[in-house]
């Protein structure tokens, strides 16, 4: 029988290496990768390369998933380094990959009316004394305990709320925001691994698609001429604030429509941060 793995076998967990591990929702796509940072040695005297040297190794794990734990997303989306592990686990063969000291470089969270909540995260792995590369094969003999049951019920649109200028929005069709933490990988000069992952400046942008009662409401929202016309946008999941910032501005406002469509307006926005941290 072939031992080739299928994507349907993979699940994603987080936790300590020797402790309980928590399933992180319905995974729709996973993409582990490691960039060896190859250094090409090219010089005169040879048409090709003299050599290919191993550079600084950079493990990255990207997942698209339908989440069930809004508090976990809220805790990792700021780019802070988590001392736990994130595991790609194939339970049928007890195989997989382990990522240590991970941090989220980019995360997007979105939902359409009548659909499930979707999340996409680009996760960088660091390293440690045990395996400084930050990524390793799952070890059958490692001191691990049973993995907790898989989560089968993700969040949906009814679990979310959208507030604009402190008023609850009831006519939205979709919402989305993206956090870019602009991580920087600091190298270990002794072995080419990661010494530390440091979050730098953060960018927060988003988009709300909603109806308006009439064109006057659209005109009122589109009136962004006043220098002080900043406002609050709050997006919650199951009562937890995912985004709550008092200093937001609309971007380019659009109302595209075809003859068969109602005119739903697009409201892209920029926030100063995930929360109101500065005036």
Q: What is the value of pTM for the model shown?
A: 0.87
Contact 108, 126 (CB under 8 A): no
Distance from the Cα of residue 115 to its chain's centroid: 19
Could you tell me what percent of the chain has a pLDDT over 70? 85
Instruction: Show the DSSP H helices in the chain as ranges.
Output: 70-76, 215-222
Q: Please, which pLDDT band fits residue 254 given cuts at 50, 70 and 90?
A: confident
Read off the pLDDT of residues 135-190 as tens digits, 9 standing for 90 and up: 555 554 444 556 788 888 999 999 999 999 899 999 999 999 999 999 999 988 88
Domain ranges of the chain: 8-271
Instruction: Calculate the average pLDDT of the chain.
Output: 85
Closest CA to 246 of 268, 273, 226, 267: 273
Distance from the Cα of residue 102 to its chain's centroid: 12
Could you tell me what percent of the chain has a pLDDT over 90? 49
């Amino acid at each position: 029988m072939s031992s080739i793995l299928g994507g349907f076998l993979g699940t994603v967990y987080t936790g300590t290496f020797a402790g309980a591990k928590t399933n992180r929702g319905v995974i729709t796509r996973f993409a582990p990768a490691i960039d060896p940072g190859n250094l090409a040695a090219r010089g005169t005297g040879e048409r090709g390369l003299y050599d290919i040297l191993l550079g600084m190794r950079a493990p990255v794990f990207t997942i698209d998933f339908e989440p069930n734990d809004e508090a976990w997303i809220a805790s990792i989306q700021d780019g802070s380094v988590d001392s736990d592990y994130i595991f790609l686990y194939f339970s049928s063969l007890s195989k997989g990959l382990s990522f240590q000291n991970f941090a989220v470089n980019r995360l997007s969270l979105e939902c359409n009316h009548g659909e499930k909540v979707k999340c996409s995260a680009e996760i960088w792995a660091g390293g440690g004394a045990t395996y400084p590369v930050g990524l390793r094969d799952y070890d059958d003999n490692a001191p691990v305990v049973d993995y907790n049951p898989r989560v089968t019920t993700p969040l949906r649109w009814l679990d979310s709320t959208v507030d604009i200028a402190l008023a609850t929005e009831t006519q939205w069709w979709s919402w989305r925001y993206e956090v870019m933490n602009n991580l920087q990988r600091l190298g270990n000069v002794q072995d080419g691994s990661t010494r530390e992952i440091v979050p730098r400046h953060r960018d927060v942008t988003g988009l709300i698609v909603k109806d308006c009662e009439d064109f006057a409401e659209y005109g009122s929202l589109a009136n962004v001429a006043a220098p002080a016309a900043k406002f609050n946008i709050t997006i919650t999941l199951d009562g937890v604030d995912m985004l709550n910032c008092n200093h937001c501005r609309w971007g380019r406002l659009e109302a595209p429509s075809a003859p068969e469509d109602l005119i739903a307006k697009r409201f892209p926005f920029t926030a100063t941060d995930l929360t109101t941290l500065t005036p």
